[in-house]
Amino acid sequence: MSLVEKINEEIKEAIRSRDQVRLSVLRMLKSKILAADARSELSDQEVLKLFKTYFGNLQEAFEQAQSANRPEIADQLKAEMVIVQEFLPKAPSLEETKRLVIQAIQESGAKTKKELGLVMKTLMRLNNSIDGKLAKEMASELLVDIDEG
């Protein structure tokens, strides 16, 4: 079952169970798909890319709501993030992320922080479900270590 079909099934289920929050988020995901392709003929990879972008937007809004001391909005965004996360591939563990970052540095041949973009490009090719922010921090630390040593 493709992601588009799964979203459609989940929408039907949310309607049956009268789960308004879930239904709202699923409809938003479906609208993201339809906005990108009116026929919903996107591959699962393309759909995942849309969902990751949406998840990133939710995360950013969540952080802003927290810093603005708006717990009611933050709670709502957190609930939405949990639902969107169900459709995203599981991110690698901290150890796995570090191993992938080291592998990307070796494969790209990067030596300094100036080549961080090259490392990140290699890393996304290796595993695109990785937490980009965390990976970038790790890569920066490792490249500094390499640069100093």
Does pLDDT of 75 surpass 60? yes
Of the chain, the percentage scoring pLDDT greater than 70 comes to 95
In the prediction, which pLDDT does 145 show? Answer: 56
Tens of pLDDT, residue by residue over 135-144, are 888 888 888 6
Task: Name the domain count of the chain.
Answer: 2
pLDDT average, residue stretch 29-55 = 88
**How confident is the model over 100-118, as a mean pLDDT?**
85
Q: What is the pLDDT of residue 147?
A: 45
Contact between 102 and 117 (Cβ < 8 Å):
no
> Residues 61, 99: one domain?
no
In this structure, are 16 and 48 located in the same domain? yes
CATH number at residue 17: 1.10.1510.10
The DSSP line for 28-72 is HHHHHHHHH-TT----HHHHHHHHHHHHHHHHHHHHHHHHTT-HH
For residue 103, the enclosing domain spans 94-148
DSSP 100: H
Structure tokens at 63: 């952080």
Residues 71, 106, single domain; the answer is no
Q: What is the value of pTM for the model shown?
A: 0.68
Confidence band for 66, pLDDT divided at 50, 70 and 90: very high
